[in-house]
Structure 1
């Protein structure tokens, strides 16, 4: 009986937890994990840059860079899981998580393109990735702020993230240090890596277009069902499902 009373009394408290002050949001475990990931990504980019093209300045730094990239990529789901598991989904987390993701992928692309390790068309590929990621991130934040809408990720967006991490991980991995340099295996490995990154680029652009269509459709539905006021109220007061969905699927 006491447990039942606590459960009934606990439900009204949930919105209060979602309206944490900014200072409180900084101290939640999921957001601490996300901020740690951002620091990890910055360290990774510094180490990768210090290693030089193909680890010319330091092969050890290149291996460390690969390890840090792998750790940052694998920890991507941890903060979202903790936020959902312990009901700690916050607006700050929704802002920081995509920043960590985009910083990892786009930062690695810029460094590798500058090293000339992503050819042919390394800078063209990188710029297309950057434009898509920046554009969708800005649109996501704009739609959340103006309409209170959280758009679920589409399947292409999830596959895009997988191919990005696998392709960049393969490119960062110093395969040339453990096989014959310039040999048939190394060449085949590089072109396989290049193909994975191209697939990631296609999925990146396609999922971006799908996201734009999802936003337009969601806004039309919101206007038809009562306009932005209902969306704002659902997002801030009664929209646990919408925010939870955003917490589960923050990647497009």
Structure 2
């Protein structure tokens, strides 16, 4: 019985690693590298990009590029029938690295309220742990819900707007940016509750 359970676990792990070097997964790895470069540039640019405005604009472009390629790896996976368990796991992790790093740096710089960032982080870390538990116990990956996808969209739009140092030019710009981020937060909490209720069922 124990040997059977171990062989099942081994098969599930092999299945998780299948297609690790497929083009959609390579796009996901590239997005993770872009996140690291984005963080470095954002930190060097300083709050609102006042220290090095050029770096802040470059960081904003990289953020938007990394966020927009989220759809590229998903499209490639579906178009060429290369959807993998690893891809379903790594894709939301790449999203979370991008979003969470942008949120933390923005709050450290005083560009965004810490309570907003903390709520985002608690939800994201909680759902990530939930995904890992499901993989370990059931050998499957929880796919993103529709509300979760909308949450990611609004997060990327709001943080992309925040990254662009335009609030000093247009006073209303920061207000509009924060409204978009608060909509993303509402979707974040709603989709998180959806995941938890789905697991209970």
TM-score using structure 1 length:
0.70
**Bigger mean CA deviation after superposition, 57-66 or 189-198:** 189-198
Please name the residue that 2:11 is paired with: none
Structure 1 stretches lacking a partner, 5+ long: 1-18, 180-184, 218-252
User: Are the equivalent residues in 1 in contact too, given 2:22–2:82 (CA < 8 A)?
Assistant: yes
Q: Partners of 1:20 and 1:209 in 2: how far apart?
A: 29
Pairwise CA distance, 1:59: 0.5
**Partners of 2:88 and 2:143 within 8 A in 1:** no
Residues 1:205 and 2:189 are matched in the alignment: yes
- Cross-structure match for 2:152: 161
**CA distance in structure 1 between the partners assigned to 2:73 and 2:182 by the alignment:** 28
Residue 143 of structure 1 pairs with residue 134 of structure 2: yes
User: Residue 112 of structure 1 corresponds to which residue in structure 2?
Assistant: 106
Contact kept in structure 1, 2:16 and 2:85, CA below 8 Å: no
Deviation of residue 21 (structure 1)? 8.2
Offset at residue 116 of structure 1 (A) = 0.4
Partner of 2:179: 195
Tell me the distance in 1 between the aligned counterparts of 2:143 and 2:21. 26
Kept after mapping to 2: 8 A contact 1:151/1:214: no
1:115-134 superposed matches below 5 A: 115-118=109-112, 122-134=113-125
Q: How many angstroms apart in 1 are the aligned matches of 2:25 and 2:121?
A: 24
Aligned to 1:14: none
**Deviation, structure 1 residue 135:** 0.5
1:1-252 to 2 correspondence within 5 Å?
A: 22=17, 25-118=19-112, 122-176=113-167, 179=169, 185-186=170-171, 188-217=172-201
8 Å Cα contact 1:151-1:215 kept in structure 2? no
| TM-score normalised per structure 2 | 0.86
Larger radius of gyration: 1
Structure 2: unaligned runs, 5 residues or longer: 1-13
Q: Where does residue 8 of structure 1 map in the other structure?
A: none
RMSD: 2.1
CA deviations on 1:20-63 (whole Å, 9 max, x unpaired) are 684x6332111111100100111111111110011122000011
CA distance in structure 2 between the partners assigned to 1:152 and 1:99 by the alignment? 12
Shift of 1:142: 1.5
Q: Distance in 2 between matches of 1:81 and 1:101?
A: 16
Deviations 1:212-238 (Å, cap 9, x if unpaired)? 111222xxxxxxxxxxxxxxxxxxxxx
